[in-house]
């Protein structure tokens, strides 16, 4: 088992001086983030877990991308990789995470995860909203203290100005009585108010990209709709790009311009949202869409769960990782080789042997 701990191409951390630099990195002007062939693996006694396994996608400036799939498909590790906050037993073993930055294009995958450059990017250029606000806030300080600290970390303003800006952003996320609630401790707020406070903290430095990981899972249905509406309007108002990570296809259809579906660490389908909902290609995507009620589908619509369970990531099926659950399984083909990514339409790609 010890040999597994050695597997995977290791990347040597670079010095702060050469951070992100590997010759000229090219991206078109309209793209803010370009993830290319990214692999993030975890190493343990059980073996190697390929949490993210050769995934590629772009996020354009001002675009909303949804990343969807069942639990354990690699969505959250993808976000952790972009922010360089992968837990210590995991690491990026291959690929690039290119970000348009003031100083040009930076490859986040090449940065020292504790270096000055990634710390200046995190929170200020790329920010994140987590599923559970309690993980973002310390219970020992008021929400105001914590938002002000983030503002002063990235902007040269005094305490008084930072407080004015914190109250302003709390007001913009719909926090009631922001002048009073800025001095509240996180545990004294309701779940919905904590979620708004976390969004305020994430937006306090006007990031170019906000990553929201299951932003509405911990709140009830009424608050969910309000939070989604709020994120959509703030994204538009602040001209930022938004990546929404969710298992909920209804959230995707409500918010997103483009969708990437993940299964066992693979990007199995990527398409404009409208195209994906009207013309899904991958059998897994089709299964996901059939497993949730469709808007306007009426009472007679059939809801079918995808058969079987997601296999253990330590024991991946051979060939196509979805083959043990796939209704279109072709013996001798799907279990023999992993399907490559193929283009099936404008901006629409899929990994499935049915389209080769």
Distance CA 219, CA 209 (A): 23
Beta bridge partners of 350: 269, 342
Q: Which of 355, 350, 349 is nearest to 284 (CA)?
A: 350
Q: Which of 192, 206, 292, 207 is nearest to 250 (CA)?
A: 292
Say if CB 244 and CB 65 are below 8 A apart: yes
Q: Is 261 a binder of ligand SF4 (CB under 6 A)?
A: no
Distance CA 64, CA 215 (A): 14
* Comparison of 172 and 323: residue with beta carbon closer to ligand SF4: 323
Q: Is 320 a binder of ligand SF4 (CB under 6 A)?
A: yes
Nearest approach, Cβ of residue 260 and ligand SF4 (Å):
16
Select the span of 29-37, 64-72, 97-105, 322-330 touching ligand SF4 (CB under 6 A): 322-330
Q: Which of 228, 224, 174, 222 is nearest to 197 (CA)?
A: 174
Q: Is 10 helix (H, G, I), strand (E, B) or coil?
A: coil
Q: Is 323 a binder of ligand SF4 (CB under 6 A)?
A: yes
Q: Tokens representing 282?
A: 């991958």
Select the span of 23-31, 154-162, 241-249, 326-334 touching ligand SF4 (CB under 6 A): 326-334
- Of these, 31, 329, 344, 348, which contacts ligand SF4 (CB under 6 A)? 329
Nearest approach, Cβ of residue 286 and ligand SF4 (Å):
9
Window 274-313: contact mask with ligand SF4 (x via CB under 6 A): --------xx------------------------------
Those residues whose C-beta lies under 8 Å from the C-beta of residue 156, and which sit 6 or more positions away, are: none
* Total residues binding ligand SF4 (CB under 6 A): 14
Select the span of 42-50, 151-159, 197-205, 327-335 touching ligand SF4 (CB under 6 A): 327-335
Cα-based angle 143, 213, 343 (whole degrees, multiple of 5): 150
Select the span of 15-23, 189-197, 219-227, 321-329 touching ligand SF4 (CB under 6 A): 321-329
| CA 7 to the chain's CA centroid | 26
* Comparison of 122 and 323: residue with beta carbon closer to ligand SF4: 323
Binding site for ligand SF4 (CB under 6 A): 282-283, 320, 322-323, 326, 328-330, 334, 339, 352-354
């Amino acid at each position: 088992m010890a040999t597994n701990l050695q597997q995977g191409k290791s990347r040597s951390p670079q010095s702060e001086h050469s951070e992100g630099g590997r010759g000229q990195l090219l991206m078109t002007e309209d793209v803010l983030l370009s993830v290319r062939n990214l692999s993030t693996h975890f190493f343990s006694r059980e073996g190697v877990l390929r949490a993210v396994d050769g995934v590629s996608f772009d996020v354009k400036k001002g675009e909303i991308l949804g990343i969807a799939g069942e639990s354990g498909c690699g969505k959250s590790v993808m976000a952790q990789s972009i922010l360089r906050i992968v837990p210590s037993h995991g690491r990026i073993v291959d690929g690039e995470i290119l970000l348009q930055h003031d100083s040009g294009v930076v490859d986040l995958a090449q940065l020292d995860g504790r270096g000055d450059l990634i710390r200046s990017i995190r929170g200020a250029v790329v920010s994140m909203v987590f599923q559970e606000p309690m993980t973002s806030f310390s219970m020992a300080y008021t929400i105001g203290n914590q938002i002000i600290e983030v503002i002063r970390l990235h902007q040269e303003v005094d305490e008084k100005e930072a407080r004015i800006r914190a109250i302003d952003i709390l007001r913009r996320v719909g926090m009631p009585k922001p002048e009073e609630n800025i001095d509240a401790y996180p545990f004294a707020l309701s779940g919905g108010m904590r979620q708004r406070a976390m969004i305020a903290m994430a937006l306090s430095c006007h990031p170019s990209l906000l990553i929201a990981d299951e932003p509405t899972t911990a709140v009830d249905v009424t608050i969910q709709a309000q939070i989604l509406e709020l994120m959509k309007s703030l994204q538009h108002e602040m001209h930022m790009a938004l990546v929404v990570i969710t298992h909920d296809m209804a959230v995707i259809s409500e918010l997103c311009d483009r969708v990437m579906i993940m299964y066992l660490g693979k990007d199995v389908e990527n398409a404009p949202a409208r195209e994906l909902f009207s013309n899904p290609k991958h059998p897994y995507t089709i299964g996901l869409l059939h497993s949730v009620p469709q808007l306007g589908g009426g009472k007679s619509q059939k809801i079918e769960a995808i058969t079987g369970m997601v296999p253990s990531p330590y024991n991946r099926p051979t060939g196509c990782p979805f083959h043990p659950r796939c209704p279109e399984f072709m013996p001798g083909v799907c279990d023999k080789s992993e399907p490559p990514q193929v283009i099936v339409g404008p901006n629409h790609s899929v990994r499935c042997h049915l389209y080769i």
